[in-house]
Chain A
Amino acid sequence: MAFILKGFFQAICLLARGNAENYSAILATLRVSSYSIGSSLVMGIPLGFCLGYFEFKGKKSIRTIVDTLMALPTVFIGLLVYAFLTNRGPLGDFSLLFTLPGIAIGQTILALPIVIGLSATAVESMEKKLRITIISMGANRRQLFLTSLWESRHALLAGAIAAYGRVMTEVGISMMVGGNIKWHTRTITTAIALETNKGQFGMGVALGLVLLTIAFCVNFSVSFLRRRY
């Protein structure tokens, strides 16, 4: 128990002093998670809307696949992305292995099914009366799409938060695709894993607290936005 308390004490000291290595990992985490969540939202929300809104042949099968992909293990994604980005892989020429964009690609694959699945659920749970109301007020197809999205904003935000949480806290992709390179591709989660293995418990806890703070800030902002809009 004493070493845990000591770890927390060290963590507070480290955060108070400011540590360049920590800040590098925090910055890398924020950059890579922003890339991945941004791209997964841009692709996932329209796809999820179409999946939830339209009736078409094979819809149930696609839904089952998306739901399955929501539980993809991060190390498996890491392995696949590694295989594609390595020099011998089909995307080897782009030199994305051990880079932040490389990690972002993996994390996008991780977040995309979550965004698609939860957006589809949000749209499916939209009341039928909403569609009738929007059309009867004179909306065209584009306005119907945009208004329906806006009306399901709270559920879509919840989906985005769930995806962001998964991206922020994953280790497998960052470790395998990023390589945990100090000052370069080390993220908070890979740093925690490394520091804990090295016995630097205080550093691990400090980074964990930072992760927790980021999560709190994101949730607080979303909660504020929900109240405001």
Chain B
Amino acid sequence: MDIPIYEVKSLKHAYAGKPILDIQHLTVQAASIVGLIGPNGSGKSTLLRLLGFIERPSSGQILFSGRPLAPFSNEARFQVTLLPQEPFLMKRSVFKNVSYGLKLRKNKDDLTGRVKQALSLVGLESDEFVQRPWYALSGGEAQRVALAARLALKPKVLLLDEPTASVDAASAQLIKEASLRARKELGTTLIVASHDWQWLYEVCDDILHLFRGKVFGSGRETIVFGPWQELEAGKWGRKLSDGQELLVPLPPDKDGAAVIDVFSIGDNALKPEPEDVSLRGIVSRLTLEKNSGRILATIMAANIPFIVGLSQQQFHDHPLFPGKTASIHYSLDSVKWI
């Protein structure tokens, strides 16, 4: 079996004593695309910085191609690069920004040609942009220049932290295409933190769900936050805004987060056991999952999105479309607390 490009072991990281990450084990295969999903503050950016060897973890190990690396080591510097969330360029021209990393590598052959090529990958006309100063770019253009600067390095690993969060739709599309092209043409491993679930489900080989610094599940689970209340004697849950009751087993604390794995959808699908919970919602989105070929349906019950995976056959038997009302079912026993 191939050595994974990343292997994370017993990783813990804290800022000023406050724990941010706690990951027991995690592997990423070379040339794969891995998505990181999780709410703000779940530790996605911190994990990317650690994987980018920009910071040293408080404890634990990150193996890169089987070897432990440290920040500023040559392998880390020249094989991994990170694109931060907000567009940030150094106070210099577009050309100097894009060629900066190449110069650091003393890789100065045909700088102009390679800068031009990198800019074209992100849809920027070289003649128009190459001499522009950093302050004469829009947010979307700045983010694309920043991505071009990384692509010019032909990295082994490209870490993208919310690459499309602060750009317009056109720029977001170009950024997505350029990232995927790097993977296709260079075999670059992509690790992407994004709130754009649909895109991640479409392109990722693996999706990791991060919550409160811990990795769990496949990203298809739904996390529902408290406060929880005892609706009736021994019956815990939350009243949703549309009057339905979302039931959970006895919560460890009133503000705990419940992980709910929906097992079936549709009134005529797997008939739920009497003790199972059913909720009604509206189909808001359908996405084709990349590797499995399953269709992921997002059902909005009140304001909570539940994601359910359906096989092609299930989907054929019980067709769904956005706007259709559907029922989802989950077992109380399967609810986990984090």
B-binding residues in A (CB < 8 A): 127, 129-130, 132-141, 143, 147, 151, 153-154
Contact = CB atoms under 8 A, between A and B. Distances in A.
Contacts of A147: 90, 100
A138 B105 contact: yes
B43 interface: no
A132 B54 contact: yes
Interface string B255-296: 000000000000000000000000000000000000000000
Given A141-B72, A143-B104, A136 B88 contact: no
Nearest to A135: B54
A123 to B, nearest CB: 14
A155 B128 CA distance: 30
Interface of A is mostly: helix
Interface residues of B, number: 26
Contacts of B88: 127, 129-130, 132-133
A137 B152 CA distance: 10
B81 interface: yes
B4 to A, nearest CB: 21
Contacts of A143: 104
A151 B179 CA distance: 28
Q: Enumerate the 9 nearest inter-chain pairs by beta-carbon distance, A residue then B residue, closest first.
A: A137-B101, A136-B82, A129-B88, A138-B77, A138-B104, A135-B54, A136-B81, A138-B101, A132-B84
Given A136-B52, A139-B104, A130 B90 contact: yes
7 contacts: A129-B88, A130-B90, A135-B54, A135-B77, A136-B54, A140-B72, A153-B91
B149 interface: yes
B210 interface: no
Interface of B: 49, 52, 54, 71-72, 77-78, 80-84, 86, 88-91, 100-101, 104-105, 146, 149-150, 153, 159
Nearest to B91: A151
A129 B83 CA distance: 10
A151 B49 contact: no
Contacts of A154: 91
A138 B103 CA distance: 10
A134 B149 CA distance: 11
A137 to B, nearest CB: 4
Contacts of A127: 88
Given A130-B90, A133-B88, A135-B54, 16 more contacts: A129-B84, A129-B86, A132-B84, A132-B88, A133-B90, A133-B146, A135-B52, A136-B52, A136-B81, A136-B150, A137-B100, A137-B104, A137-B150, A138-B78, A151-B90, A153-B91
A137 B149 contact: yes
Contacts of A132: 49, 54, 82, 84, 88
A200 B161 CA distance: 69
Nearest to A137: B101
B101 to A, nearest CB: 4
Contacts of A137: 81, 100-101, 104, 149-150, 153
Contacts of A130: 88, 90
B71 to A, nearest CB: 7
B237 to A, nearest CB: 42
Contacts of A140: 72, 77
A4 to B, nearest CB: 45
A135 B153 contact: no
Given A143-B104, A151-B91, A138 B81 contact: yes
A211 B7 CA distance: 65
